[in-house]
Structure 1
Amino acid sequence: MADATSAQRVFVSIADQLRSDIAQGLYADGEPLPSEDELAARFQVASRTINRAVELLKSDGHVVGRRGSGVYVQTPLAIRHEPYSEPAVPHRAAGAWAAGEPPAFDIDRVALTSDPPPADIASALGLATEQAALTWVARYSVHQRPVKLTRTFVPVALLPKTSAARADASPRRLTMLLADLGLTAVHAVMQTRGRSPSSEDCDLLGIPVGRFVLDSRLTACDEQNRVLAVEQTVMDTAAFVVAHSVDLREAR
């Protein structure tokens, strides 16, 4: 057991050193990382150990692999995420963005489907296995890098058949979408947790399987406490920090 722990500390320590090198500008953004053989020679370890260290860097967003080309340094973003913020307009507080401060996310993919939602979403909506939900999907990018997905699920049975919004895939704030559908939410609960990405998350965000995502879910209810919608936001953990404002005067 001690040998295994020692071996693990070696590749973790190498990953820590490479992160430090990147932070200090030894390897610039977009620059290829030295080959596994070169790094193995530098750290006096086997190539497999370097491979494991580089996989850690891929998982936390410090490098990105390009098939047939190698591994390249990627400066992690630091997008500020605050619950209930307008999804199309990022927070503009100082330090909110590490890579410049764009006026808004770029929405580069939208879709509208009508299918049974994933089991956990169906349970939150009170749907049976085969019951469908209308699902609005949007992908948000920064500097042409996908960083966030939103999926909004509304039970088909709740929707007026004449609602024009049933065919409108435009992403918009949940309260606005529900109003367009003729539904009124009066309260909501938000929960955020880390999880492994689904295969669809990996494909749409372009992230490795080993990187966790932040899954933030806003469950909206009406006056009768009936669940009207679940808005799921999936964020690349290599791009976001979760921020909360705290008034320290309240603690006095």
Structure 2
Amino acid sequence: MVPPIPTCQRVIVRTTIGSVRRMIDPHGDRAVYRQLADQLRAEIAGGEYGPGSAIPSETTLMQRYGVARNTVRLAMTMLREEGLVVTYHGRGTFVRDALPIRKISSTRYKSAATAAADGSPQEPSEYRVEATHQEVPADETVADLLGLDTGTLVLERRILFFDGSMPQQLSCSYVPLDLVAGTPVADASNEPWDGGTVAALAGIGVTVTSIRERVRARMPQPEETRSLSVAVGTPMLTVTRTMFAGERPVEAAVDIVVPGDRGELDYLIDLT
């Protein structure tokens, strides 16, 4: 007697490349495209595909794992959203190169403040910038941070920082116009200031004595996605900053924005 043919047969696709054994279970609890994304992610982490190297084509991955084209595309979408790979039209998909990290440290203002106080020279800025300045009326948020009436004119400074060719940080800050009008601080061609805003204000006789920062994480806004060339799904670190000269707020940043995959927070809290 011929045994009946089962209506549903459990098939596990196994392949071996090098020393890594791969398993794709089309009937498992986890969607096949997620299994494929897991496998490729592990290969990237394990160094099988190094930074800048090409991921195999859709056709190759389909044949290797016995999956449909849409499965491969969904897996690639997951990896792109995680920032692990980038796809270039007509060229293929590649492991993303290691990105330079911009450190946001609680001590980053100290050297500028010390140099500004004793007149010592500043170290040249290591970053290239694109800067624009314009006079705008303060909205409610900016006015509240600077202690001004809404609508008071302020100088808006929008600065995009680059490390080599990679955009690293976007800063949008505001200074009371009556404080800087007609001074070098109001000239965008002077950006970036060696020593940053602390040194810039010191140059016009304004001594920053304290700084308040609030750090948050959020998803990028469309303009930030374009300006900072971030992968879809990359969270942003945002710093809302207020600088004070004595009791007077003299600068407010709303916000300093750093892609989460290119920045780290490094804060020292001294309790002595």
Give TM-score scaled by structure 1 length.
Answer: 0.72
Residues 83 and 31 (structure 1 numbering): CA distance in 2 closer, same or farther, change over 3 Å?
Answer: same
2:236 pairs with 213, 219, 239, which one? 213
Q: Which residue of 2 aligns with 1:147?
A: 168
Q: Which residue of 2 aligns with 1:69?
A: 91
Q: Does structure 1 retain, via aligned residues, the 8 Å contact 2:107–2:268?
A: no
Alpha-carbon deviation of 1:104? 6.7
Q: Does structure 1 retain, via aligned residues, the 8 Å contact 2:129–2:162?
A: yes
Amino acid corresponding to residue 210 of structure 2 in structure 1: H
Q: Does structure 1 retain, via aligned residues, the 8 Å contact 2:128–2:163?
A: no
1:35 pairs with 54, 57, 70, which one? 57
Amino acid corresponding to residue 112 of structure 1 in structure 2: H
Deviation digits for residues 109-145 of structure 1 (CA, Å, limit 9, x no counterpart): 2222223467644543345664443122332333422
CA distance, structure 2, for counterparts of residue 188 and residue 149 of structure 1: 19
Q: Does structure 2 retain, via aligned residues, the 8 Å contact 1:61–1:76?
A: no
Alpha-carbon deviation of 1:43? 4.1
Question: Are 2:203 and 1:180 aligned?
Answer: yes
Deviation digits for residues 198-250 of structure 1 (CA, Å, limit 9, x no counterpart): 222112111234221111222112323x3221233211222223234589xx8
CA distance, structure 1, for counterparts of residue 260 and residue 139 of structure 2: 22
CA distance, structure 2, for counterparts of residue 11 and residue 132 of structure 1: 54
1:115 pairs with 136, 161, 182, which one? 136
1:53 pairs with 63, 70, 75, which one? 75
SS class of match (1:153): strand
SS class of match (2:220): coil
Give TM-score scaled by structure 2 length.
Answer: 0.67
CA distance, structure 2, for counterparts of residue 104 and residue 167 of structure 1: 17
Structure 1: tracts of 5 or more residues without a match? 1-5, 90-102
SS class of match (1:175): helix
Amino acid corresponding to residue 219 of structure 2 in structure 1: S
Alignment RMSD: 3.4
Q: Which residue of 2 aligns with 1:124?
A: 145
What is the aligned residue count? Answer: 227
Residues 78 and 120 (structure 1 numbering): CA distance in 2 closer, same or farther, change over 3 Å?
Answer: same
Q: Does structure 2 retain, via aligned residues, the 8 Å contact 1:30–1:73?
A: yes
Q: Which residue of 1 aligns with 2:13?
A: none
Q: Which residue of 1 aligns with 2:227?
A: 204
Amino acid corresponding to residue 169 of structure 2 in structure 1: K
Residues 191 and 197 (structure 1 numbering): CA distance in 2 closer, same or farther, change over 3 Å?
Answer: same
Amino acid corresponding to residue 193 of structure 1 in structure 2: R
Question: Are 2:246 and 1:229 aligned?
Answer: no
